[in-house]
Amino acid sequence: MLLHVYPDGRVYLKKLEHNVERYSKTPVAGIVVLGSTGEAIMLSDEERREVLRTARHSCAPHKVLIAGTGAESAIETLRLTEYAADFGYDAALVRTPHFYRPQMKPAALLAFYRTVADRSPLPLLIYSVPVFTGYDMAAEMVIELADHPNIIGIKESGGDAAKIRQIVEGTRHIKHTATVTETFAAVTPRMLKADSTSSSNEDAEFRGPYGDGRRRPSGDPGTSGRNAGTRNI
């Protein structure tokens, strides 16, 4: 999701609301917030949180929401990931740390992603974007991390077709399950939870205060004598 700013550098949150609401009305399955075009690297911690809040409140509930939460440390990555989870995001997009490139050996990257994946309340997508980070994550590392149950995919932006082919071949044995509708629209655990809560509330309304669909007697507090409702499927 593209981020707009005022001439003085402040985040244009109203424009973000407009864009999220607009895309919520299109056929796209979901929205990525704080990706590269979201200029997350240029924002303060509080601005990133404001953007996550604004996008969540403006997005249609049936759209998948992915939060860009990557930072240079596993601790900061987890803090923002936990914040996104609290607001109902569905997955976290975690870019490769890159500032201390001489130390970014395979063991360090594996430890970083495994630490985040072990503790993250959201499933993770690895984000490899060497054009910006200057660090190209090796296919062997991606294949090794793919075995982690909380790492569900990768956004590979390096443009190396041979590398992508190697990753595909090296991860064919890994299986993940996903819930979809009959038209293959995505259904995330957040959506299932919300649907279950809504169904429970509607069932309670249908049963009525006496558990059998009867109306309360006229004048009984809190009912206004309304008829029991039915659920539309």
Of 14, 63, 155, 163, the active-site residue reads 155
In the chain, DSSP assigns E strands to 30-33, 64-68, 91-95, 124-128, 151-156, 179-180, 186-187
Which residues sit opposite 5 in a β-bridge?
A: 11
Is-catalytic flag, 25? no
Q: Which long-range contacts (CB under 8 A, 24 or more apart) does 24-30 make?
A: 24/58, 24/59, 24/60, 24/63, 25/60, 28/63, 29/63, 29/64, 29/185, 29/186, 30/63, 30/64, 30/65, 30/66, 30/90, 30/186
Catalytically active residues are: 155
